[in-house]
Every structure is written in C-alpha cells, then in structure tokens.
Amino acid sequence: MSMPSFGVLGSGKGSNFRALAESFKNGTLGCEPAVVISDVEDAGMLTLASEFGIPGRFVCPGPFRTKMSPEAEAEIVLLLREAGVDFVVLAGFMRVIKEPLLQAFPGRILNIHPSLLPLFRGLESWRQALEAGVSETGCTVHLVDAGVDTGEILGQSRVPVLPNDTAHSLHARIQAAEHELYPRMVRVFAERLRKTKLPNH
C-alpha cells in the first residue's frame, strides 16, 4: 500500500491543520493531506491549504446551524472520494457528522477534542473543566461515531489546570498539546491502515 492520504474538514483558522501540514512537509507524518474542505467560505484554513499547495474547497453547509444539509454532506463525500482519500481528519469542524460521511468512511474519521474524554464533551470543554474545578484536563484524539465525542479513543495528552488559569490561558495550553498529539496520532492511525492493507475508497 502506498502512503495513505487523508482529507481535512474544518471551519476555522486551521491551527491543527497547520500542525499536520508541517509534519507532512517535514516528512514525519507518514500520510499525505490530499484535500481541505471547509463549510466557511473565508476560513483561514483554506488560505493555509493554498500556502501548502493542497487543494482547498468550500462546501455551502445549507440551512442548519449544527450540521450540514444532506446534500452538502453528500458533496463532501464526493469530493473526498474524488481525492482518493483513505481517511478523514476533522480540524475544528464545527458541525456534527451524520450518516453519509459515517457510512462512506466507517471507523476512518478522526477528531481532536479539547478535554480528557469521556469528561467534558461538547462545546468549550476547557471552560467546563475550569468551572468543574479539576486539577488537570487535556485533549483527546478519537474516532468519530454517531454520538458526540463518544468514539474510540486513540490517544490523549494531559494538561494541568493552574491556579491562575483563565479560560483563554487554559485553552491556549490545550491547543499547544493538540498540535503535538494530533500529528502523532494521525501517524499511528495511518500505520494501522497500512498494516490492514485496506483498499482506497
């Protein structure tokens, strides 16, 4: 099997995508980003994709706030298949993944979440951690299933909560941990795919 390739879905400036792209550029990722897709037309990550020479595409999300329309998700599946990707990486994608994508890439969609799952699922989990008064939190790379932040955990990094932490300072340290953890776990997952010798989609 040649080097696995992946598609990236995201909604924002793309700091986790940058970490992945830089790892690929440095030859340490073990897999290749083939396409970047965003539900936000002027997302920073589309500009980043251009800078790294990776095709970037905008898909209009449709009328819903927290998910893609079925037509939009079907378009994303088509774009991912046209790019020949083996798996999908979510990098700040702010919508719930539904059946078209889950069926197209079963057990092959990765996400990073800013807490030590199963603790603090959902939005602004660093703020949830602060409000709960825990002494540590972190980030988790997991597979995406039909639930919200409920899929198989692939790896975690721990981040201490400091006495003077604000939501902003804690989130910044969690993001720094994410930028180390995500490329490492994507590399591990790509190696798992290589060993199973599963065909491209």
Catalytic residues: 113
Task: Give the angle subtended at the CA of 92 by the CAs of 20 and 166, to the nearest 5°.
Answer: 105
Cα gap 88→69, rounded to integer Å: 19
Sheet holding 109-113, edge to edge: 56-58, 32-38, 5-10, 87-90, 109-113, 136-143, 153-160
Task: Give the angle subtended at the CA of 128 by the CAs of 127 and 134, to the nearest 5°.
Answer: 105
Centre a 10 Å sphere on the Cβ of residue 140 and count the other Cβ atoms it contains: 26
- Residue 145: what are its φ and ψ, rounded to 5°? -125, -165
H or E element that contains 182: helix 167-196
Centre a 10 Å sphere on the Cβ of residue 112 and count the other Cβ atoms it contains: 26
CA distances (Å), origin 60, targets 1, 42, 48, 69, 97? 34, 12, 19, 9, 15
